[in-house]
Amino acid sequence: MSEEKVKVFAPASIANVSCGFDVFGFAIEELGDFVEAHFNNEGRNIIESIEGAEGLPLEPEQNVTTIAAQALLNEVAEKRGVTFKIRKTVIPGSGLGSSASAAVAGVFAVNELLGKPFTKQELVRFAGIGEQFASNQLHHDNVAPSMLGGFAVVRSNEPLDILSIDYPEDIRVVVARPLIEIETKKAKRMLGRTMSISNAVIQFGNVAGLVLGMTSKDYNLIGRSMVDMLAEPVRSKLIPLYDEAKQATLDAGAIGTNIAGSGPAIFSFCKGDESAQTVLEAFKKVYSKSDLSVTYFISKINPEGAKRIF
Asked whether residue 1 carries a pLDDT value surpassing 70, the answer given is no
Which pLDDT value is given to residue 3? Answer: 60
111-121 as b/e: b if 16+ CB within 10 A: bbbbeeebebe
- Domain 171-299 CATH assignment equals 3.30.70.890: yes
What span, in angstroms and rounded, lies between the C-alpha atoms of 290 and 225? 30
Q: What is the mean pLDDT of residues 78-104?
A: 96
| Residues classed as catalytic | 131, 184
User: What SS3 state is found at 98?
Assistant: helix
Question: For residue range 246-300, what is the model confidence (pLDDT) as tens digits?
Answer: 999 999 999 999 999 999 999 999 999 999 999 999 999 999 999 999 999 999 9
Q: Closest Cα to residue 172, out of 242, 227, 236, 219?
A: 219
180-208 as b/e: b if 16+ CB within 10 A: eebebeebbeeeeeeeeeeeeebbeebbe
d(CA 12, CA 32): 4
Contacts (Cβ under 8 Å, ≥6 apart) of 159 = none
Contact 220, 168 (CB under 8 A): no
Q: What pLDDT does 52 receive?
A: 95
Residue 181 has pLDDT above 90, yes or no: no
Instruction: Give buried/exposed letters for 38-73 (b at 16+ CB in 10 A, else e).
Output: bbbeeeebebeebeebeebeeebeebbbbbbbbbbb
Angstrom distance (rounded) from CA 23 to CA 17 = 9
Q: What is the mean pLDDT of residues 183-203?
A: 84
- 140/125 Cα distance (integer angstroms): 8
Mean pLDDT, rounded, for 21-42: 97
- Contact call for residues 91 and 19 (beta carbons, < 8 A): no
Of 14-18, 111-115, 148-152, 186-190, minimum mean pLDDT range: 186-190
Parse the chain into domains and list their residue ranges.
5-166, 171-299
Q: Which helix (H) or strand (E) holds 266?
A: strand 266-271
Q: Is 35 helix (H, G, I), strand (E, B) or coil?
A: strand
Query: What percent of the chain has pLDDT above 90?
Result: 91
Is residue 11 reached through a cis peptide bond, with omega within 30 degrees of 0 on the bond before it? no
Distance (Å, whole) CA 60 – CA 66: 5
Kindly give the pairing relationship between strand 81-88 and strand 46-51: parallel
**CATH code, residues 5-166:** 3.30.230.10
Residue 7's CB: how many other CB atoms inside 10 A? 17
Cα 172 to Cα 1, 2, 298, distances in angstroms: 45, 42, 7
* Region class of 213: left (phi > 0), else alpha (psi between -120 and 50), else beta: alpha
Helices (H), the chain: 64-75, 98-113, 120-135, 143-148, 184-189, 197-216, 219-225, 232-235, 242-251, 272-287
Q: For all residues of the chain together, what is the average pLDDT?
A: 96
Q: Which of 60, 141, 52, 36 is nearest to 96 (CA)?
A: 141
308 band by pLDDT with thresholds 50, 70 and 90: very high
Q: Which residues contact 308 (CB under 8 A, 6 or more apart)?
A: 6, 7, 8, 108, 112
Mean pLDDT, range 69-94, rounded to an integer? 97
Confidence (pLDDT) at 136: 86
**pLDDT tens digits along 114-155:** 999 999 999 999 999 999 999 888 999 999 999 999 999 999
Give percent of the chain with pLDDT exceeding 70.
Answer: 98
Q: What is the arithmetic mean of pLDDT over 94-113?
A: 98
